[in-house]
Structure formats: structure tokens, C-alpha cells
Structure 1
Amino acid sequence: RRLADQVAVALTNSRAIESRVRAQVELVGAVDAKHQAEERADVLQAANQSLEAKKERLRQQQSAMLALVKDRTVYEGSLGETARQVTATAAQALTVERASIWIFAAPARALYCLDSYERSLDRHSPEDKLTRTLYPHYFDALERESLLVAAQAEQDEHFKELATGVLAPRLVTSRLDAPFKTNGELTGVVSFEHVGPPRDWALDEQQFAQALANFMTLVLEATRRGEAEQALAMAKNAAEEATKAKAEFLANMSHEIRTPMNGVIGMTEILARTPLSETQRHYVETIHSSGDTLLTLINDILDFSKIEAGKLDIETTAFDLREVVERTAEQLAERAQRKGLQLLVLYESSVPTAVLGDPTRIRQILTNLMSNAIKFTQQGDVSLRVTVDRPQSGDTGPPTITLAVSDTGSGISPEGQAKLFQSFSQVDGSSTRVHGGTGLGLSICKQLSELMGGTIGVQSLIGQGSTFWVTLPFPLQSGSGALHAPDPLLASLRVCAAVSHPPTRDLLTRYLSNWGLTCRMAGTGAEFLEQVMDELATEGGQVIALVDETFTDMTDIQLLHALASDSVFASVGILRLVSFIRRADVEQEPLFGHMPFVTKPLRYEALYLALQSFLDSPQVVVPQPSPSPARSPRVTGRILVAEDNPVNQEIALLMLESLGCTATIAQTGQEVLDTAQKTRYDLILMDCQMPVMDGFEATRRIRDWEAVIGNGHSHHPIPIIALTAHASPEDREHCLATGMNDYLSKPFTREGLQQMLLSWLQPGPMAQRAGQIQVEKASREAATTLVEASAAIDRQAWSSIT
């Protein structure tokens, strides 16, 4: 029992001990758990603090990037100002001692510091350049890597070259570099330097550095693009200023040249209307021709300038293309015929005549092409052929018309053809060339044809002549049709023609066949007389004899004598074909000057009317196609001439006298204003450039004065015609805008002045103006003084002008 009690006690004690042990174990476990919990809490707290720090860094970095993106200085300022903004913002965001931005210059193989910012001193300062020669491994790393990260910068393989010269003097321990590149090529680098204990650069910090590098790439590209745009704008402004200066120079040059040219051409034109010997007339015509040539050169230069500046406008107006073509050829006929050349115009019957376009520019192109053909052809023919290429069925576009100028000159080599239409270029540009010129004519023709939607070209062979052609679209006028259909009455005529020149014979045949006429052609006088006899022996309509100028067996005068001396030919209607340069001589022939004639080159309308006149009477004299030298309509009126140039004053006075007007001279704009307010004038010729007050201001003041006195009075505005040596559309617009009514460019001709006066004044009766018109006393005294000051001129010779 005692043993049992002892066992019981022992068990009890054992349980107690176990309970205490368990309690101790539980106590120890609780303590351990508490320690573990505390450790975990510390870890979590540290992690949370790290997370908060990272969040704060990210917030600062995002705030910094947002501030840079929103800052207008970054985009509108200079690259240096942008760099200062970026370095300061980045240094604060990363809390580093120094932030800097460097630009790589490939030619110099060096990095140049745009800006370096020290945060502790809040100071921006420049740094010395870094060259590839001194730091080759560092430069290789920049070109190769996207980031250079070093906690121990002096020991890092990328930065150890910088340790002695760059890092140690500034106590830099850690460094972070972010290169920025364009198209894979190094452009620059953003660099961050830490002073103090070594710093492990966080991933977000590295990403921020890289974001700044990308930002600098965009900034640099934008800056360079802006600089390029600025340079382009400056270049554009400079070009515009140069163009403006050039235009002003050309305008002033035009004025300075045209003013004396007005004296040269005007005086020679006036002189040509006085009694002169043949030698004197030859001299005057030579001076006048030379003046016209110089004026053509000036116009070429001005046209080229306007085309180059894009200021030459193409008009669209209704006109008769055949009339423009034939009149242009007629204007050049004298030049061709004096060289012994035959000039012809062949206008195909299928080509429309009533078209829309710019007749002035068409005439300019044709004049240039035909003048060149005449200049470079020594013998033979120059012809202008007009054909049409009508639209295909279903094509609603306008017909395309080709105007081709052919000559029998020496031809042009392929090398010469290649540079024909280039500006300032000639086939023979040597100092020994036979023919002169600016080399602008064909270039202007090319550009004009392109402005009108056409093309221009040349076909030529050495020794076989050349053909220059221009093809242009011509819209038709509404209701346009053929000029002349076959005429039943005209078809009753039987025509015999004595023409030795084959192309002229072909042209006549074509024209006559258009009107339903047949024609017997003869190349000699004897053959012609035989043909006329045959036609007279045959019953039918009126026999018409067309007589050209020269034949192999006789002259035209001998042939006309043969027709006139035999009564058999009394019923024959005779129409002569006369060269343009012989028209005045033919009219003065004592025996045959009364006979009707048409001039060559033959004009379609003139020939038609001449033949039509024979339907009533074979002896009707056909009116001349060119202006008659007889009296032209005179105009009455009191004219105030505002002109400060003495020679031009005299020219204006003499021309106005000959036209039937009374003229007064005013030498300044102020004098014009004062005179116009005292005396009523029918018209004012207003020079634009005058001393004291120019013509524009004088016109404005006259219009203001008229507006005041016009209230309650029947006072009509005085027509004011601008006289200016400037020659651009802008000048005309300026004249009209200031109140002028019309525009007359210097140098002007008597006919041009007459047409202008007829536009604004009524023609006066010849009987009323038969005597010489006297100029007002003051004007006459001024003119006399001017004449004495200039070259002496025979006043009686001037008085003979009618």
C-alpha cells in the first residue's frame, strides 16, 4: 500500500511537473510568437516605409516630368534655357548633388555641356568638354549601352576613366548616365552625380533617368526642327525681300529707261511725219526701229521677271484668232520683205476663228517665233501654218490648235535644240555670234505656253530649216462658226492668177477653193495672158486677173501694160498682189496706181472682200487692209498735260496739236491741282512721278475737290489718264485705285495717244479743225523755252504736221 501511495504521489508530482513544463513550454512559445510577430511587424513596417519612399519618389518624378511637359519655355525657348529647366527639375526630383546635360558633336568627337546644375548651391554653371580621345571607353559605353549605372563610380568599368579628372575632384561616389540617341546614333547624355555614401540607384530612378533622356531626344529634335523652320522662314523672307527689291529695281529701271525712250520713239515718230529726204527718212526709220528693238528687250526682261515671280496673269477674252495671226504676220512683213524673204500665213479652213484666250500673249509668242525665223533666214520663205486637232468623240475638252512657224534657214543642231528654251541661253552664245538678243525670248514663250495649258517645241535639221510650234487649247465662243462658207455669187467669178512663187500659189488655191472658186495658175506672164484669153473666149461670169509682182519673163508693170493696151482685156477685173513694203509706191504709180490691190502676206478677209467687190464693178478700188496714211479722225478738247520731263512735254504738245487738241503743261502735281481748279479741262494726262506732289496724290486731291464742288452742281469728273514708265499690272491697279480712269504706258505712240483720246473724247469735225490748233499762250511760251533748251527743231517743219 505504501508503495501504491508512493506511486500515486509520484504520478501526481509527475502530472504537476508535466503541467508546469507544459506551462513553461507554452510560455516560451508565446514569447517566441511575440518575438516573431514583432520581427514580422518590423519587416512590414520597413517594407511599408520603403514603399512610401518609392511612392514619394515616383510622385516627385511624375510631378517633375509633368512640369517639364507643361512648361512652355521647354518648347518656345532656346535649347540652353530648356537644359537649365531640365537639370534643375531633375536634380530636385532625384535628390542628387549635380545634374547635367551634354550634347555630342560628331565632327569634333566630343561632348559639350549644355548646362550643369548643383543642387546644394542652387547654381547653374558650364563645364569643360569631354573628348573621345581622353575617354574612349566611356564614349564606347555611351554608344553601346542604354544606361550607365554605378554605385561605386570610381571603380566601375564605365566610369573609371573619369575618376581622376572628373569624379574625385568633385567627391562623386555614385553616377547614373542616360544617353539619348537619334536613329541609333549618339546625340547626347543626361548625367546624375551623387556625393556622400555610395548609392544604389533604384529601378524607378533609372527609369526616370531614361525618361529624361527620351524627353531630351524629343526636345532636341523639336529644337532642330524649329531652327530649320526658322531658317526656312528667314530664307523665305530674304527671298521675298530680294524678289521685292528685284521687282522694285526692275520697275525703277523700266521707268528710267522708258522715260528717255519715250523721247526717242516719240520724237522720231513726229519727225517721220514731216517733209524729209529719202536719206533723212532712212535715218529716222533706223532710229525708230532701234528704239523699238530696245523696248522689246526691256519688255522681255520685265516679262521674265513677272513670270519668275508668278505675277504674270493670263486673260481669257473673246477674239478672232485668224485676225490676230494675220495681223501679227503683217506687222513683221516689212522686216521679212526687206531681206527678200517671202512671208506667208496658211490658216486651215477647218480651224475655228472665234475662240477664247489671251490674244496679247498669243501675239507675243508668234511675234517672237516669227522674228527669230526672219532673223536666222537669209533666203527663201518664212511661213506660219495654223491647224486644229479636234477632240475625240466623247471628249468635251476644247479643240487644240497648233501654230507652227517654219523657215528655210540654216537649221539647228540637236545640241543647240537642247538649250533653246532655257533662260539666258542661245544656240550661239559666243562673242562672235552674228545675231544678238537676250536669250529670254524662247524661254518666255515656253513659260507663256505652259501658263495657257499648252506646249512648245522645235523640229530642225542642219541645212533644211526649222519649225517651231506651239500647241494650245482654245475654248470656242458660243455660236461660233465658219468665217466664210462657199458663196454662190462669188463662185461665178473665174480667176486667173499670175503667181510665180509655189507656196503663194498653193495658199491662193486653198483660199479660193474655200469660197467655191476654181483658179487657173500661171508661173509666167505669157502663160497667164494665154489663160486669160481662153477664159474670155468662154462664156460665163466675170474674169478676174490676180497679178503678182515678178515673173521669169516679165515684170508686173509689163504684164499690166499688156492687159491695159489690148481692148480684148477691157472687161477683165484686175487685182494686184503687192508686197507690204511696196504699197506706198504702188499707190503713186502714174498709170496703175488706181488699181485695187491686196498686200502680202495675204489676209483671208482682205482677199475675200477684194474679190467680192468685183461682183458689182470690176473697177472698184479695194480699201487697204492696213491703216491709210491719210488724215485720221481729229479730236477736240482742252488737255492738261502733267509732265516734268522737258522732252516729253514737247512730244505731248506736238502730238496733241497734230491730233486737234489744245494743250496746257503743268510740271508738278501741285501745279496740276491748282490749274485744274481754275480752268475746266476735258481730260488730264497725268504723269505719275513728278516733283513736289506726284500724280497719285494730285489725282486724289482733284477727286476730293470734285466731290466737294459736285454737291448741287452738274460737274462731271475730269477723265484722268495715267502716263507712267512703269509697266506692271500692279501699277495699273494702283492708278485706277487712286481715281485715274485709264492708263497709257511710256513710250506711247501718236496712234496710241489718239486711240486713248478717242475713248474719252468725241472726235471733232474736220472742217472745224482744219486750221492749225493754237496752244494757250502760257503753254506756248513754256514749249518755246523747252525747245530752245533742247535740240533745235524746225518749227515750220512741225507746223506741217496734219
Structure 2
Amino acid sequence: MQERLIRLLTEKESMIIDRLIDYAKAGGFTRYNSTRQEDWRLSVQEIIKGLTDYLRDYDNDIISVEDSHANNPVVNFGIISAKAHRARGVTLKMFLSLFKFYRRAYLDMVNDSEFSSEEKTAAKRAMNTYFDRFELSFCSEWAGEGPDSRLHELQAINRQLTNEKNKLRTIFESMTECVFVVDPDMKITEINSAAAAYFEVNQEDVIGMECCKLLGCDKKSEECHLSVAMKTGGCYKGVEVEITTKKGRRHIHTSGSFLHDISGKYAGGVQVFVDVTERYNMEQALRLHMQANNSSSDCVTIFDQSAQLIYANPVAVSVLGRGISELMGLGIEEVYQGGDKILLNLIRGELWRGELKLTHPINQRETFIYLHANPIRLTNGNIIGFHAAARDITLHKQTQIKLQEAREDTEREAAKLRAIVSVMQASIVLADSDNIIKEVNEQCERITGRTRAELIGKNLGDLHQGEFKEKIWQIIENCRKDPKHPPLSITRRLGEVDVIMSIQPVYRDNKYDGILLMAVDVSEVAKAKRQAELAREVAEKANEAKSEFLANMSHEIRTPMNGILGFAEVLLQQNLNSQQEESVKVIQKCGEQLMELINDILDLSKIESGKLVLEETCFSLRRLIHDTVSIVEPRLMDKDVEIRINLDHNLPDYFKGDPTRIRQVLNNLLVNAAKFTLEGFVEVNVAGELISNEGGQSIDLNFSVADSGIGIPEDKLSLIFQAFTQADGSTTRKYGGTGLGLTISRSLTELMGGAISVESKVNVGSRFTFNVPVKIESALVKDEENIKESGTGVVLVIEDDWTTKQLIANYLEKAGYTVISTEQGKQALTMVKIYRPDVIILDILLPDINGWEILDKLKKGRETQHIPVIVCSVLPEKERAFSLGAVDFIEKPVNEKILVSRIRNLTMSRRSDQTHIVLVDDDKSTLEFLRFTVGGAGYHTHDFIQAERALEYILGGGPVHAVILDLLMPEMDGFEFLDKLRFDSTFKELPVLINTGMNLTQDDYQKLNDKYEKILNKSFVHPDVLLEELAALVKNEVRRNHIHEEAEADHVSVLLVEDNQFNQKLIEHLLSADGYRVSTVSNGEMALEMLEKEQFDIILMDMQMPVMDGYEATRRIKSSEKHKKIPVIALTAYAMKGDNEKCLAAGCDSYLSKPVKKDTLISIIKQYVKPLKGTNLKKKRTRDKGVDSLVPWYLQDLAGEIERLKLAVKIGDLTTVRYIAHGLKGSGGAYGFPDLSSMGAEIEKAAVTNDVELAKSLVKQLRELYTQILEEEL
């Protein structure tokens, strides 16, 4: 480069001289003129010579200024040159101006040369160094001072400064960072080569340019970091800004500071910057990439150039099983198993793709991933890191594994299937969707007589002929159309062989893909089936004959037994002597034993024939146990045997199952225990075990019946559940029994899903255990045996045994009573005084005070002696209980029906002793007076401020014997109250006492229309007068109610249809004794004839009769519009399954099985027949004995009154009509003719309303009634 520069200087010498002369001529030098042109030429030549010599020794290093002049050619040359110029008369100022021209000219020459930018920079650096030293030595020599002078010191300092300047210049130019210097006006004074190259400008061109123009910056001075630093004397570092260059918008990382001169004055500033656009763009891209990675469902990791992890997204943290802090800095081979192989690819700049298996470091769970790794490159291609993205393919991998396993399993199964098919006795043919045979087995070859090779590839139709071939084609066509076509089975005969042809369509993706035919030789099966069918028909006929025989035998035996047991019951109610009574009891007992045998045989027969169907109804476990025990208990009364009940208190009370059959099994076991136990105990234990199943929760109830009886020998235990078997013959003779009870018990238990077992030792006792699964019934439901009438009252139970106390409370609360209880006697006496119970149930064996002492104190206390006490105890001391004042005695265990019935009788009798008075008045003070007066006299009052509420109470069935009524009230007054009350015929005769303060007008009386019994003025009435009038009204009301109750049975007419004369007599006797009118016929045809002649309230229909049976007769009755509403109760001796349903299907309303019990018969009649007021039945005349003698006279006088009434109606004299009718209303009832009183009231009402036509009609009816009464009385 030096030689080229020297050559350039030589070539441009003349050009430099010419430019100098031109510059001088233009006035560039004031002292120079044309005479000095030769001096200028010499000067240029000297400068070029000195520069040429310098360049030849230049080595591109910084040249220092030595202290010794002689040792530095450039300095020496400057000194020589200075002397020459001074000799020619050139001043120092002139020379400095000329020297400035020289420097500029040579630098411009270099800029205009064809050197490269780097060469130009080096050349200019060398020239500037030369001129700096030359100028220094020139100036020093010009001063004319020697080495030892002050000037010499200054020269040394100047040389040192020059040396530093040269160093800084060299550094400035060699920096790769862009640098520029500005003056106080922000104009560029210096710029290094890197900056000039960056902005693509010449250094000289930007000198003096404002820096904002170079940077393309539009910031105001107060926003410019350099400007601010220059003004504040500060600096800034690492500021990132955006500028505009010829390359567009760029991001630079810049630092800057202010500059000051040697005096410390503000002299400008300097700014250094580096282009970071590429890094900025990469950071932006990386930021977006990171955001995407963080939300990616893939596992993303990034490693730096040394393959250490610098980023992992949340999915990667989860998959890799380590925290982010643990992962950071790990090598790729530590993060991914097999990462060393991956890294080799990445370092070579290659991608890597493949599957990896990761093992979780904590739970050791294996995860399969598919990894994609690639190097991260700059735009220049340099690798600065690595990117790895992975996707969890565990499920896919597991699916692949499963598919492979399934494929292998399928192949194994197919091999098995082929092996199975090959040895199957059935003939197998598999055809494709085109009906081409693809596979057959050996059995098919045998049946068709063709080899496998002959069959494969043939059409399926080749194996079939005739109608069956057409049928096969039709089936295949249907299978093609319906992808859900089910498999079919067809029985056909192939030659001499019966086969079942199974046809199974094959589908793939809901498209028909072929068919599988399988033919099984069922010749032997078909033969056996025909034989079995024949045997079944024979067995069914035998069973039907057996069932018919049992039904007929049941009817034939039960019919006479009904008469025997029924009349035994009737005879026992008569006045018999002891011998007669004992004989009748023997008859009754023998009859009952015979019925027990019949029932056992029928039960056994139904079980064996499978016709016994279990029920599933709600039942109370406690009630079932205690009811069963109460039935067996009388058998132990004459023995020294204690009966115990142990029931698990944690068991619920209500279940769903068959209570009838459970009770039957339990009863059989208890009867046996009572029969074979002479002393000791009989114990019932009940527990349960919870069972969970698909239908919900249920309980396995476990019953055990233990006794201390005679026991069973061990060798006989296996025999006792066999029919008609007991331990030995002597047992049967001594204790009796059919020997069927345990057989039936075992069969019933097994039928209910349970089992029965026995443990026994001779002379120690036996324990029978059985279990029955039942469902839990969450709701407390009262079954049809529960008492329907709710009780109203408070019962105090004094009992220390928790089970008994809870049982009694449960019974009574279900019946509607409020129950309070205690186990302490002292506390009981206190509770009686506080709660005043209606009834007390008292146990004797209490922990603190003996029950007898409590009973004695209750009956001696003035406040408690009237409260009825029922003694409930295991002690058989009924007489002592009654002697101390108890009203009843119940022996434990307690029977629910007996308990509730006796409690109800007591509470009802107490309520019946009270008379209920309804008080209606809107004035609270008056109502309080009435309550005090009437209630104080012993009446039970019901107080109402609103008449509507009082009316609702009465019409709703509330107890009432009389009403005390005010007239003037808001909303509903007394007049409206009376109209609505009397509109209901039930209350037409209810006594009403009007207690009012208003003055009644004629219109008021007309509105009242005698709907009352008495009117009192409440402003003046004395309490005694009020009570006297009330007593008179109540007396008549109670007497009328009594008459009505006595006459109820007489009003019921019963048609008995029965062909057996003994049963006729029995039922007639049972019903007539209670006042029922009974008409009897012998068959259904006669019953239909009787219904046309008379009207009946209920029909008792035997179902088995000659001529026309009860089924046909009932159907005809129910199909008749005239008679279909009459209740029909079926009476039958049949006891087989379906008898009840058959009777109901014929139209019967209910069903009674013979022998008929009186209580059951009366109960069902009362259930269906409720005599109502106004029926067409003849009412019984009831009157005081003293009136009987006056009745003839009354009836004779009444004839004249009726004639007067007839005449008054005819002429329209309604005043006379009203007068006579009013008298009739009052007198008829007094003489025992309530019908006449009612008729008089109706006629009076018609007269008050001026309804003449109605009055005429009623008078006519009165005459007819009078005629009927005369016939009855006379």
C-alpha cells in the first residue's frame, strides 16, 4: 500500500502545485504572489519528498515523537524546512495557512483515489501522522529556541500531547463501533470510519452536519439523550433507540457523554453506538415464540449454544417431572434419554426426529413422546442454540400396543376358532357377500358328502333346494337391507335328519359382508322334546285334576265345617251348664284341628305344584312378632312357661315382604315350642344383617325360636322336616299335630329366599332358626289392618323396659294419640299432675316404686282418681289390679289391636260423657262469658269469633250437641249461618239457641223461619236461665242420637244366597241376633227374582250353588242398572290360589272364606253399608212408656187437624196452615213420630214463603204418612 501511495504522490505532484497556485491567485494567501510561485513549487516538492521518505519507513504502528531531534527524520526535515521558509521570508502564520492547504489537498487526493475504504483509512492515518510531526517540528524551529530553553519544555509537552492524540486517533479510526463527535450546536466535528461506512457517507461530507440529520432522528433537543447529557454535564449508557438509515429503520444500542476543553468549558459531546437490529428482531421473534410455546400443548424446550437448557414451557415441566429450577442448566442428554445422539445431529446442523421414552423421576411412570429438534441459526448461519418440541404420544403408543396385542389375540382366537369349528358336531358354512362359500368344517363335508375343496368357491345356493333355498335367499336379501337384522334359527329336516339351522349375518361397518350357517343335528333332541311335551301335557292334566280335586274337597269339607264351628260359637254364647259347655268346646277344638289339617294339606299342595305366589306388601316387624306371640300365648297359660321376645333395637320397623308367610313360619315354630315345652321358657330372637344389591338396600331378617322343652334326638334331626313326620309315633299320640308344619315352614322359607335349620338336645331344648330377605320400607305406611280411626288424647306410659315402652308408644302414636312416657314411678306421679293424661298404662315391676303403690296413690288423689289406669304386666294378677281401681288389665306381650281398642273405648267413653257446645259470637267479652258459664257447667265448648269457621267445624264432622249463636256479626251473620246449617239435612234438628241483643222485627222472625229452638236476650239473660235452656236442648239432642244408634241395625236389609241349609241357619242366626233383617234364597236364579220384589242393602253370595252359581248371578246383578250399586260379598269354601281374583272378576266387592266368623262378617257389612237418614227403611218407633197410652187419642185428634189443614190450604189461609203445621212439628216427636214433626216443619216453611202449591203437595204426603202410621200402630 505504501508504494502505491508514493506512486500516487509522485503522479499528483504537478496537480497539487497547480491547485496551490490557483488557490493563491484566488487570494488564498495574502502575502504570497506570483513571484513566489517557484517557492511554492519547491515547498510542494519538499513536502512530497519528506512524505515519501516517511511512508517508506511507515509500518502502520503509532509513531512516537522522540526527544532527540536528530533521531527523527520527520522532525529534522521539519526543522530544515522551517529554516528554508523563514529564509524566503515566509511568516509562521503564512506557513500554517499553507500547511493546512497541504493537509487538505493530500487527503482529498487519497479520497479521490481508487484505493479501497480500508486502504484509504490507513493512508489518511499515515498522512495525518506525518503532518502532525512536521507541523510540530516546524513550529518549534520557527520559534528559534534552543534545546535548553523554556520552549524546549513546551515542545516536549507538545510532542507528548501529539503522541496521545495520535494514539486516540488510531483507536478512534480502528474502532468497530460507530463514533461521532459534535460541537455545542450538535454539529458533527468528527466521525470515525465505522460510522461513515455504517451510514454509507464520506467522513468529510458529514463534518458540520447536524447529527439528527445523519441519524434520521426527529426528536426534540429535550428528548435527545446526547443533548440532555451535554446540557447537564452527564452521560448515558446502554440506551436503545430507533433511527432511520439508508437501510431503513434500525435499532441501535448507544452510549454518550458531554466534552469540555482544557479550561473545563462545555465543548460538545461524543456518541458511540452499535447496531442491534438483528438482535432486537430476534428478541421480538423469541418473545412471540415464547408466548406461543407457553400456550402450546406440546412439550417445548430451548437450549443455548452449549446445549444447556434455558427454557421449558409448562407442558415440558409437567412431562419431564421436574421443577423449572431443576431443569435450568441441564444438558440435553440429561433432559432427554438418548440426548447425546440428538446433540450430534444438531451440532452438525441437522434436524432430528423420533420417538423417545421418558421415565418420571418420582412415580416412575413411563411416557412416550415424539421429538422434533433443530438448531437455531442467525441470519449469517451461525448456530446460537437448539429448539426441541415434543408431543405426548403415550395414548397413541398404548393404543398401538393394544392393537398389536388385539391383533395377536385375534390371530390366536381365530386359530382356536378354526380348531373348534373343525371338531364341532354342527355343520358350519361361511359365505361372503356374493354368496360364495369361503369356509366349511369336517361335519359339513360329512353331511353334504363333498370335500372341502369341492365346496370352497361354490355358490351357497348349491347346498339347498326348493322352498328352503328361496327362504335362504329371502333372508339374505333382508340382511343386506337391514344392518341390524338379528340372527335367525330355522328347524328343518334334511333327509332323515332333523336339524336346527342357525343363520347369523356378518356385518362390517354396518354393511353386509357375508353369512354364517350352522346346522345342528337335533334328531334325538326333537324326539326327547316330543316325549317331554307329551309328558308335560299328562302332568298338567294330572295337576289340574289334583287342583280340582283339592278345590272340591276343600269346598265339600269347609261347607259342613262352617256349620259345625259356627253353631259351636253360637252355642258357647248361650246359657249352658258346665258339662254342655265342655262338650261344645271339644266340638269346636276338634273342628279347628280338622281345619288346621285341611289348611296344611292345601298349603303343601300349592307349594309342591308351584302355585303358591308370594306377596310383597309393607308390614310392621314388631307388630308381626307380637301378634304371632299373642296367638300362641294362650297355649302357655296353664304351664309354668315364660315367653320372651328379644328384638334388635337397631332394626327399622317397616319392611316389604310377605308378612303372611313369615307369620305362618314363625307361628308353626312357636306352636311347636309351646306344645313340647312343659316348663321353663319359649324365646323369640330377631336380628338382621344389611344386604346391598342392585335393587337398593335390604335386610336379611334372622329369626330364632328357642325353648326348654323335651328336645329332639340327634338321629331324628334329619327327619323332622319331612312331611307327616315327627320325632316318633309317641310324640304324635301325646302332643298331637299333623306333622306338616315344619315341612311347610321349610318350603316357605326356601320359597322366600331363605333357609331353616335346627339345633337340639334331648331334655335341654331346641332352637329353630330361619332367615328371610326383605326390603327396607322407609315410609311408615299403615296397612289395611291398621286402625283407621285416629285417637284424640294423651296417654302416659309408665314402663321401665325400653322395648315394651317403644312398642306401646309406636302402637298408640300410629293410632293418633300423643304419648308421654317415663320409667320412674316418682316422676310419673309428677307428670300426671302436669299433663293430666286421658289414660295411664302402668307396669308393676318398676325400679324405684312398686306399680301397686303408684296405682293406690293415683286412685286416692283427688286430682287423679278419675283418670283410667290400665295395668300392663307379666304378672297374672288381674284381680288385684281391679281391686285397686284399674279399669283394665293387659298381660304382656302386648297385642296392638287389643291395646288400641281398649284405649279408644276409654277415651271415647270419656268424650261421650261430655256434651259439646259450639259458641259463635264476634264480641270477645261475650264469648269469654259464655265460655266461663257453659264450660264451668261441665260442657265442652268450641269457641268461634267468625261464623264461617264455626260452620266449617260443624259440617266437617266436629262433635256438637247444640249451638249458642249471635245474629249480628260481620261477613257471615247468624241468619246466613242458619240457612246454610239447615240446608244440610244432617243438621236440620241440631238445637240452636239464639243469644242476641238486637230487637227482632217481623221480617227477622220470617227470615229465621223457626230454624232455632229458643231466643234469649244476651243483654239481660241470667247465667242460670242460659244453662237451664241449654240443658233442655241438649237432653233432647242426646236422646234423639241414642234412638238413631239403636235403630241402625234394624235399617239394614241383607239378602243371603246360600244352598247349604246349615250355613243358612248359621248366618241368619248371627245377623238376626244383631238386628239385621235377613232374607234367604238357595241359588242365583232365586236371588235375581228376589231382587225384583224387594230392595236390599247388601248381598251375601255363595259362589258354588246348583241351577245358577254365584259367579253368574253376580255378573247379572252388576250388569243391571237397577241393582249394580248393591254390594256383593262372596262366600266360598274354596281356598286355592286364584279364588279371590275369580270372585272379584265376576263383580264381587269383597271376599269371605268359610268358615265365617261373626266379627268378620259384621265388620264387612258395616264397611259397605252405612245407613243414612232418609232411606226407605221403616224406622223403629221409640217413646217413653208413659206416652204409650196417649198415642191412640193423639192419632184420633190428629185426623181432625189434618182435615182442617187440608181445608186451609184449599182456601189459601196460610196463617192457619202455619199455625197447625207449627203445632204438628212440636207434637209429633213428643209422641214418638219424628216423621210427623219433619213433615210439619216442611209445611210450616211453605206457609211462611207463601208457596201454596208446595203446601198442597206436602199436605197430601202428610195424609199418606198418617195412613201408614195408623196401619203400623193399630
Q: TM-score range by the shorter chain?
A: 0.5 to 0.7
Please list the CA deviations of residues 192-231 of structure 1 after superposition, one character each: whole Å capped at 9, or x if unmatched: xxxxxxxxxxxxxxxxxxxxxxxxxx99x83x55543333
Find 1:652's aligned residue among 1048, 1067, 1073. 1067
Counterpart mapping for 1:376-395 below 5 A: 376-391=676-691
Q: Which residue of 1 aligns with 2:894?
A: 602
Structure 2 spans left out of the alignment, 5+ residues: 1-448, 451-461, 469-491, 499-519, 783-792, 811-818, 908-912, 914-1045, 1183-1274
Q: Does 1:685 align with 2:977?
A: no
Q: How far off is 1:303 after superposition? A: 0.9
Counterpart mapping for 1:612-761 below 5 A: 636-704=1051-1119, 706=1120, 710=1121, 716-761=1124-1169
Contact 2:1052 2:1169 in 1 (8 A): yes
Find 1:576's aligned residue among 866, 871, 874. 871
Q: How far off is 1:643 after superposition? A: 0.9
Q: How far off is 1:257 after superposition? A: 0.7
Q: How far off is 1:717 after superposition? A: 2.9
2:776 match: secondary structure: coil
Q: How far off is 1:377 after superposition? A: 0.6
Q: Which residue of 1 aligns with 2:553?
A: 253
Q: How far off is 1:472 after superposition? A: 1.8
**Mapped partners of 1:635, 1:74: distance in 2:** 82
**Mapped partners of 1:437, 1:656: distance in 2:** 34
Q: How far off is 1:733 after superposition? A: 2.1
**Mapped partners of 2:622, 2:1088: distance in 1:** 46
Q: Does 1:322 align with 2:622?
A: yes
**Mapped partners of 1:417, 1:507: distance in 2:** 34
Q: Which residue of 2 aligns with 1:300?
A: 600
Q: How far off is 1:312 after superposition? A: 0.9
Distance 1:405 1:769, change over 3 A: farther
Bigger-Rg structure (1/2): 2
Find 1:357's aligned residue among 654, 657, 675. 657
**Mapped partners of 2:539, 2:626: distance in 1:** 42
Distance 1:748 1:635, change over 3 A: farther
Contact 1:453 1:472 in 2 (8 A): yes
Q: How far off is 1:298 after superposition? A: 0.8
Over the residues paired in the alignment, what is the CA RMSD in angstroms?
Answer: 5.3
Please list the CA deviations of residues 411-431 of structure 1 after superposition, one character each: whole Å capped at 9, or x if unmatched: 223333222323333222468
Distance 1:392 1:610, change over 3 A: farther
**Mapped partners of 2:1180, 2:565: distance in 1:** 27
2:717 match: secondary structure: helix
Distance 1:657 1:232, change over 3 A: same
Amino acid at match of 2:652: P
Distance 1:546 1:760, change over 3 A: closer
Contact 1:419 1:425 in 2 (8 A): yes
Distance 1:691 1:535, change over 3 A: closer
**Mapped partners of 1:735, 1:680: distance in 2:** 23
**Mapped partners of 1:573, 1:279: distance in 2:** 38
Distance 1:517 1:459, change over 3 A: farther
1:474 match: secondary structure: strand
Q: Does 1:478 align with 2:778?
A: yes
Amino acid at match of 2:1088: L
Q: How far off is 1:734 after superposition? A: 2.0
Contact 1:338 1:581 in 2 (8 A): no
**Mapped partners of 1:381, 1:305: distance in 2:** 34
Q: How far off is 1:74 after superposition? A: 4.6
Distance 1:313 1:633, change over 3 A: farther
Amino acid at match of 1:275: N
**Mapped partners of 1:547, 1:428: distance in 2:** 43
Please list the CA deviations of residues 376-435 of structure 1 after superposition, one character each: whole Å capped at 9, or x if unmatched: 111122222222223479994212222222211122233332223233332224687422
Find 1:313's aligned residue among 613, 620, 629. 613
**Mapped partners of 1:449, 1:768: distance in 2:** 55
**Mapped partners of 1:382, 1:413: distance in 2:** 19
Distance 1:586 1:723, change over 3 A: farther
Q: How far off is 1:271 after superposition? A: 1.9
Q: How far off is 1:604 after superposition? A: 8.0
TM-score normalised by L of structure 2: 0.35
Q: How far off is 1:536 after superposition? A: 8.7
Amino acid at match of 2:889: F
Counterpart mapping for 1:66-145 below 5 A: 74=496
Q: Which residue of 2 aligns with 1:37?
A: none
1:390 match: secondary structure: strand
Q: Does 1:263 align with 2:558?
A: no
**Mapped partners of 1:538, 1:319: distance in 2:** 34
Amino acid at match of 1:576: V
Amino acid at match of 2:892: K
Distance 1:685 1:604, change over 3 A: closer
Contact 1:337 1:579 in 2 (8 A): no
Find 1:244's aligned residue among 538, 544, 554. 544
**Mapped partners of 2:855, 2:1050: distance in 1:** 41
Q: How far off is 1:602 after superposition? A: 3.5
Deviates more, 1:647-656 or 1:271-280: 271-280
**Mapped partners of 2:617, 2:797: distance in 1:** 40
Contact 1:272 1:284 in 2 (8 A): yes
Distance 1:297 1:516, change over 3 A: same
Q: How far off is 1:233 after superposition? A: 2.3
Find 1:406's aligned residue among 696, 706, 713. 706
**Mapped partners of 2:1047, 2:588: distance in 1:** 21
Please list the CA deviations of residues 57-110 of structure 1 after superposition, one character each: whole Å capped at 9, or x if unmatched: x99xxx9x999x99889569xxxxxxxxxxxxxxxxxxxxxxxxxxxxxxxxxx
TM-score normalised by L of structure 1: 0.54
Please list the CA deviations of residues 576-624 of structure 1 after superposition, one character each: whole Å capped at 9, or x if unmatched: 34569986x789x5x3464443322235898899999999xxxxx9xxx
The percent identity for this pair of structures is 34
Q: Does 1:469 align with 2:884?
A: no
Amino acid at match of 1:297: L
1:397 match: secondary structure: strand
Task: Name which structure has the greater RCO, CA cutoff 8 Å, separation 6+.
Answer: 1
Distance 1:376 1:763, change over 3 A: farther
Aligned length: 518
**Mapped partners of 2:643, 2:893: distance in 1:** 6
Contact 1:333 1:580 in 2 (8 A): no
Contact 2:1117 2:1124 in 1 (8 A): no
Distance 1:273 1:242, change over 3 A: same
**Mapped partners of 1:727, 1:656: distance in 2:** 24
2:590 match: secondary structure: helix
Contact 1:681 1:718 in 2 (8 A): yes
Contact 1:352 1:481 in 2 (8 A): no
Q: Which residue of 2 aligns with 1:21?
A: none
Amino acid at match of 2:1086: E
